[in-house]
Structure formats: structure tokens, C-alpha cells
């Protein structure tokens, strides 16, 4: 099931996305909270009549760096022995179709297309065999990075944590088979329609299971928290006016436009 969060006439709701044709999608409004028990209301609205919001409001986004060998190499880095983990704050999250605001302290903004895992229940110290029980679903993410700032500052809080640096969406796909991720879903990034990144999730150095075990050794994850699993090779610049799209096979496409920050 694809679960979107949206606003209509000033109200915010979750809905199950129905239909196959991108121009013809309908939302069946959800009664209750998607992470717990819920029902479909049967009240339907065309997706074209609503504004999609970030599909979740995470308390935190935990991101993993250098999890695709070719991407680590393109920036002159080794794949680390221990995964590089960092946090993107909740205020970095923005939704499908929302602008990415180019920050004033950078002149080298990069896109990073990533598979995002959405957590469905509170969890800590999750053993490998229980990982599947704590995953709610998957969405597309763009780990937008001020590359120049990342190079000159030891910690990445500003380079990867500025406002709008974490577009998520367009919805959460809850039916994705973890085996399909291991087998390799295509993950693509285009800028103004031109392909920049094309990888497969099977190229991840550490699997989703590895990453959740590693992260929850350290911290409690809450429903709606998001794990970013790293980006394939092909990262590159974003400029004001660009339209950047992240597409993951079996999930959908997340599109955002880059604007100058006010």
C-alpha cells in the first residue's frame, strides 16, 4: 500500500493512494494513524486536488554516508570499516513538490538520491531477525548536501542539516519486499530531465538490516523516524532554478525545485 500525507482545505490527513496512471491517482482517506490500526474511510479525493506533504514527520533522520563503493570513490573516500552515521534534523524535512532553498553559506549544493526506510514502531537494540518487524515502509529521499561546507567543516551538521536539505516522498510504500531491495531496485536521480545518478540498491555496502542493527545499538527509533541508506555514484551540482527528481523502482518519484533562500 502507498500511504501519502496531504492537506486539503486546511486539514491534514493520511490517505491510501489508489490507481496506476500518474494523472489519475486517488486518495482513500485513512481513519486513525497509519503506524497503528487504521481503516480506509472510503472517502476518496483525487490526488490532483490535494497538496502532498512529507509522508512522515520524523523526530530524526539518521543518515548513512559512503554506503555505495563507487560513490565513496568518486569523492576520493574509502568505504569505512564502521558505517558513517549522521543526523539530519526534523527541520530539514520537506515534502514532494516543495522547494529546496539554496543556503547562503554554500556555493556547491549537491543532490544525493537515497532509499529511505520509515520506522513503524518504537525500537532499540533491534536484533537482525526482528528488523523486518520495525519497518513501516520505504520512500524516496534526497540527502541534499552543501559539498563545499562538508569539506571544510569537521562535522556535517550544517552541510547536511540546513532547512529543506531532506526532501522525502512522494508517499510511503509499505508493500515492498525486502528481498527486492537486496536483489537491487533501480535508484535514479535526474536534474532538469537529464540523468545524473543510476544505481541499484543491491550495491549498498551494508544492507538495511545491518544499518538498523547498527543505529539502534545507540539510539531509540520512534514511529515515523527515517533512515537514509546512502547514495550511488553520480552526485553533482544543483543550481537555483533546477528541478531534481529521485525515482526508486517500486516506490515512485520525488520532485523538488531549487530556489534562492529568501
Least distance to Mg ion, CB of residue 42, Å: 40
State which residue, 9 or 154, has the beta carbon closest to Mg ion.
154
Closest CB to Mg ion among residues 98, 143: 143
Which residues are at the interface with Mg ion (CB under 5 A)? 112, 143, 231
If DSSP codes are grouped into helix, strand and coil, which group holds residue 96?
A: coil
In whole angstroms, the minimum distance from the beta carbon of 140 to Mg ion comes to 13
Instruction: In angstroms, give the least distance from the CB of 199 to Mg ion.
Output: 12
Strand ranges in 82-223 using DSSP code E only, listed in sequence order: 84-88, 93-94, 99-102, 109-111, 113-119, 135-142, 145-146, 166-173, 186-191, 194-200
State the nearest-atom distance from the C-beta of 112 to Mg ion, in Å. 4
Could you tell me if residue 13 is left (phi over 0), alpha (psi between -120 and 50 degrees) or otherwise beta? beta
Nearer to Mg ion, 8 or 84 (CB): 84
Residue closer to Mg ion (CB basis): 143 or 173:
143
CB nearer to Mg ion: give 106 or 174. Answer: 106
Which residue has the closest beta carbon to Mg ion?
143
Minimum gap (Å) between residue 205 Cβ and Mg ion: 13
* Grid coordinates given for 3: 500511504
What sign does the CA torsion over 86, 34, 172, 177 have? positive
> Is the Cβ of residue 14 or residue 138 nearer to Mg ion in the bound state?
138
Smallest separation (angstroms) from Mg ion to the CB of 65 = 6
Helix residue ranges per DSSP H, the chain: 69-74, 131-134, 147-152, 157-161, 178-183, 208-218
Cell 530524526, located at residue: 60
> Rounded CA gap, 260 and 77, in Å?
30
Amino acid at each position: 500500500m502507498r500511504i501519502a500525507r496531504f492537506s486539503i482545505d486546511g486539514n491534514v490527513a493520511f490517505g491510501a493512494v489508489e490507481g496506476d496512471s500518474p494523472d489519475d491517482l486517488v486518495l482513500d482517506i485513512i481513519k486513525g494513524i497509519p503506524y497503528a490500526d487504521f481503516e480506509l474511510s472510503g472517502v476518496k479525493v483525487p490526488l490532483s486536488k490535494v497538496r502532498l506533504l512529507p509522508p512522515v514527520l520524523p523526530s530524526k533522520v539518521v543518515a548513512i554516508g559512503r554506503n555505495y563503493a563507487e560513490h565513496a570513490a568518486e569523492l576520493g573516500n574509502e568505504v569505512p570499516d564502521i558505517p558513517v552515521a549522521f543526523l539530519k534534523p526534523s527541520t530539514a524535512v520537506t515534502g514532494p513538490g516543495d522547494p529546496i532553498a539554496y543556503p547562503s553559506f554554500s556555493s556547491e549544493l549537491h543532490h544525493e538520491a537515497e532509499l529511505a526506510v520509515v520506522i513503524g514502531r518504537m525500537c532499540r537494540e533491534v536484533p537482525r531477525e526482528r528488523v523486518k518487524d520495525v519497518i513501516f515502509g520505504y520512500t524516496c529521499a534526497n540527502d541534499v548536501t552543501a559539498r563545499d561546507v562538508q569539506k571544510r567543516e569537521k562535522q556535517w551538521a550544517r552541510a547536511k542539516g540546513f532547512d529543506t536539505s531532506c526532501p522525502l516522498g512522494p508517499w510511503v510504500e509499505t508493500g515492498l519486499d525486502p528481498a527486492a531491495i537486496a536483489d537491487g531496485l533501480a535508484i535514479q536521480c535526474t536534474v532538469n530531465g537529464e540523468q545524473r545518478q543510476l544505481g541499484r540498491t543491491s550495491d549498498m555496502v551494508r544492507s538495511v538490516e545491518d544499518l538498523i542493527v547498527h543505529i539502534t545499538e545507540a539510539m531509540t527509533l520512534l514511529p515515523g523516524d527515517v533512515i537514509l541508506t546512502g547514495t550511488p555514484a553520480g552526485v553533482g551540482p544543483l543550481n537555483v532554478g533546477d528541478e531534481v527528481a529521485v525515482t526508486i523502482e517500486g516506490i515512485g518519484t520525488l520532485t523538488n525545485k531549487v530556489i534562492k533562500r529568501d
